[in-house]
């Protein structure tokens, strides 16, 4: 391709911003869980946000390389890991809601 990418790196910036929003959302969830005194939920949310934060620089560099080389694939472990953490948090919250609901 002679013209190259149209947005020259902006796609990688948008991807990085999306991951940052995910990290912030996880920290908000952790703060809400801390208020409700739910330590397992806090640990999962803070742990997942921390892992995403630690890997952010490398993920951004990979995104730029994929754009430069015009080929790339999603990082399955990162996406699956984040999805599993969110699923675990949702299941914990539902379990807590069911066990503490007055019947």
Which residues fall within 8 angstroms of residue 21, CB to CB, at 6 or more apart? none
pLDDT in tens, 37-94: 888 989 999 999 999 888 888 888 888 888 777 777 777 888 899 899 999 999 998 9
Predicted pLDDT at 9: 61
Tokens of 49: 């946000």
Tokens of 8: 């020259």
Decide if 51 contacts 22 (C-beta within 8 A): no
Going by pLDDT thresholds of 50, 70 and 90, the confidence category of residue 1 is very low
Listed by start position, the domains of the chain span 10-95
Q: Which residue has the tokens 């807590």?
A: 96
pLDDT in tens, 28-44: 989 988 888 888 989 99
Q: pTM of the prediction?
A: 0.71
For the chain, what is the radius of gyration of the CA atoms? 18
Predicted pLDDT at 8: 61
pLDDT at position 96 over 90: no
**Helices assigned H by DSSP within the chain:** 10-35, 39-54, 56-69, 76-100
Tokens of 30: 């952790």
């Amino acid at each position: 391709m002679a013209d190259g990418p149209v947005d020259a790196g902006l796609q990688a910036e948008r991807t990085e911003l999306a991951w940052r929003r995910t990290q912030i959302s996880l920290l908000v969830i952790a703060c809400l869980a801390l208020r409700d005194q739910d330590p397992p939920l806090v640990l999962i949310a803070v742990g997942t946000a921390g892992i995403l934060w630690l890997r952010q620089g490398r993920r951004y560099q990979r995104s730029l390389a994929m754009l430069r080389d015009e080929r790339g694939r999603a990082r399955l472990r990162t996406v699956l890991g984040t999805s599993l953490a969110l699923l675990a948090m949702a299941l914990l919250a539902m379990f807590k809601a069911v066990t503490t609901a007055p019947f």
